[in-house]
């Protein structure tokens, strides 16, 4: 079975040159599946791994907006719709200079498994652009989000593909994009998550990721008869997730001692 995985990875590297993080994630996941493949031959027989390693759709598009100084700024936008076997594609949008095809394929591939573990009928996807919101004015961010949605609105809807926020995409950016989506499609539906409470958002959505990380850590400790109570904890990050991670740690009587801004 190891030789089968080796062959899959060799073909994957040939088909995806330069996409190291995607290859690394695929390698880790595939080798971990060897016991399952030995137990059930249908995965190999029906080429399940070959299918799941290839995105169902990969979209790249140009995004142009005007800076405050009147200069056109050109970026590349992406949406990787990886797998919809369980339901509509679901995965965040990332605005960061490091965004490229390989990074988003890595994130979209792992999103398949992350979403399946929720027990909900949702598939895996990821998207974003090599745009850095840091140092940009609100007007520049708004114009970029509107230009980004000019292309993205053709790909998403509440029944097909439902993006969320990620690094560089918070409530402000989701608001700008959703406003553009409504104007372009003439629809008010659940095509984006992470919206504000006054226009279709969900209670506790802002806190969910940070709180969830703490609940998960506490459950892991519980398997060893331990808990977070009284523990000294380190947090990497200082954004939305880190803030609510710290808040929940305090509530569970743990002591966070670090945060680190990007």
- The residues carrying an active-site annotation are 126
Question: From the centroid of its chain, how far is CA 235?
Answer: 20
Q: Give the whole-angstrom CA distance, residue 249 versus residue 88.
A: 33
List C-alpha distances in Å: 254 to 84, 207, 224. 39, 18, 17
What is the spatial distance between Cα 122 and Cα 84, in angstroms, rounded to a whole number? 7
Q: What is the CA radius of gyration of the chain?
A: 20
Q: Residues 203, 236: contact at Cβ < 8 Å?
A: no
113-141 burial code (b ≥16 CB/10 A, e <16): eebbeeeeebbbbbbbbbbebeebeeebb
Query: What is the separation of C-alpha 62 from the centre of its chain, rounded to a whole number of angstroms?
Result: 20
């Amino acid at each position: 079975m190891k030789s089968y995985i080796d062959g899959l990875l060799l073909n994957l590297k040939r088909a995806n040159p330069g996409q190291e993080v995607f290859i690394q994630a695929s390698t880790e996941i595939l080798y971990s599946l060897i016991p399952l493949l030995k137990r059930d031959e249908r995965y190999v027989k029906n080429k399940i791994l070959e299918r799941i390693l290839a995105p169902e759709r990969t979209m790249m598009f140009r995004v142009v907006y005007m800076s405050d100084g009147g200069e056109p700024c050109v970026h590349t936008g992406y949406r990787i719709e990886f797998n919809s076997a369980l339901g509509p594609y679901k995965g965040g949008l990332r605005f960061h200079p490091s965004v490229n095809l390989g990074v988003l394929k890595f994130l979209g591939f792992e999103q398949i498994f992350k979403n399946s573990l929720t027990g909900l009928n949702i598939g895996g996807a990821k998207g974003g652009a090599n745009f850095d919101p840091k140092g940009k004015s609100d007007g520049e961010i708004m114009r970029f989000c509107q230009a980004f949605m000019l292309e993205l609105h053709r790909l998403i809807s509440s029944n097909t593909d439902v993006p969320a926020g990620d690094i560089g995409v918070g409530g402000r950016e989701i608001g700008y994009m959703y406003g553009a989506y409504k104007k372009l499609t003439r629809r008010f539906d659940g095509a984006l998550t992470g919206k504000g409470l006054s226009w279709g958002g969900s209670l506790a959505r802002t806190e969910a990721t940070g709180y969830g990380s703490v609940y998960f850590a506490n459950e892991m400790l519980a398997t060893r008869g331990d808990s977070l109570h009284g523990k000294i904890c380190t947090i990497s990050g200082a954004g939305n997730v880190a803030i609510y991670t710290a808040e929940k740690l305090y509530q569970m009587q743990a002591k966070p001692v670090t945060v680190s801004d990007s």
